[in-house]
Amino acid sequence: MFNHDQLERCLADSGASYHMTACKEWFAAFEPLAKGKIMIRFENGDLVSAQGIGQINTKSMVNGRLEKHTLHMLFISEITRNLFSIGTATGRGAEAEFTKDKLLIKINGKVRVVGKRIADHMYQMDIEVVVNAIEANFVTSEEKSLKLWHARLGHASIKTVREMAKNDTMIGMRCSNSVDSIQADYCEACIPDKQCRKSFPPSMTRAEKPGELIHFDICESMTIQSIGGSIVMVVFIDDCSGIVFVKPMKSKAYIVDVMPR
């Protein structure tokens, strides 16, 4: 049986042929195995039969970002430690890099799981099991497209979103498409919404008397009517004095009636 400390540990094992655990409650999906279908030989020579196989969901923090993985593990009630099989990980395309103090599991050159050295030739994996009852409380690390992140971040600059994805600026931000994708630069919503009107050319002359030159602009389609029923307003600016005054209107057709005389 496990003690409390052992329950918290998952040790890297370069000799194990499978990921293994004795905690049946950890499995998100479980399939019982017939006795003798998968046999495991311990270091002392004992041969035991795996009682089941299934999937266990895990999470870990790597360089400030959340990583979630699904491990395919054997259930063997006789073992006394959770084992992370280096052979299984590398067989699925991962790379294992051992340093003096750490074990790095990389996928496509990116570190996804880390282990720390706790004794001579012994590394403890920095992973935590996510059981079904609390799985919904964790943010998913499922990969999303760069355009979706662009929309989620309030249609921020594609360049900014691309840099955030490249540099792992935000925890859980993973992009399924290449962050250098040209297609991500095109956003249907941004094209009409971010258009801006060209500025008026600068003028070297100003009005010399109040009322000589008046600028105006109409603000229309207010969502809430005023008490008097107006949904449009016009803003007047006197070029000489800089005085600003506003007139409400029920429609743009009333502009002639409110023009300064």
CATH number of 11-129: 2.40.70
- What is the per-residue pLDDT across 70-126, written as a single tens digit (0 to 9) for each? 899 999 998 888 999 999 999 988 999 998 889 999 988 889 999 998 888 789 998
- What is the per-residue pLDDT across 56-69, written as a single tens digit (0 to 9) for each? 988 888 887 888 88
Cα separation, 60 vs 73, in Å, equals: 17
Q: How many helices (H) and strands (E) does the chain have?
A: 6, 16
Alpha carbons within 13 angstroms on the beta-carbon side of residue 90 total 13
pTM for the structure as a whole: 0.47
* 25 contacts 77 by C-beta, under 8 angstroms: no
Regions in the chain scoring below 50 on pLDDT: 1-7, 133-143, 179, 182
How far from chain centre, in Å, is Cα 201?
44
pLDDT at 132: 61
> Where are the chain's structural domains?
11-129, 146-194, 214-257
Structure tokens at 202: 């600068």
pLDDT at 244: 92
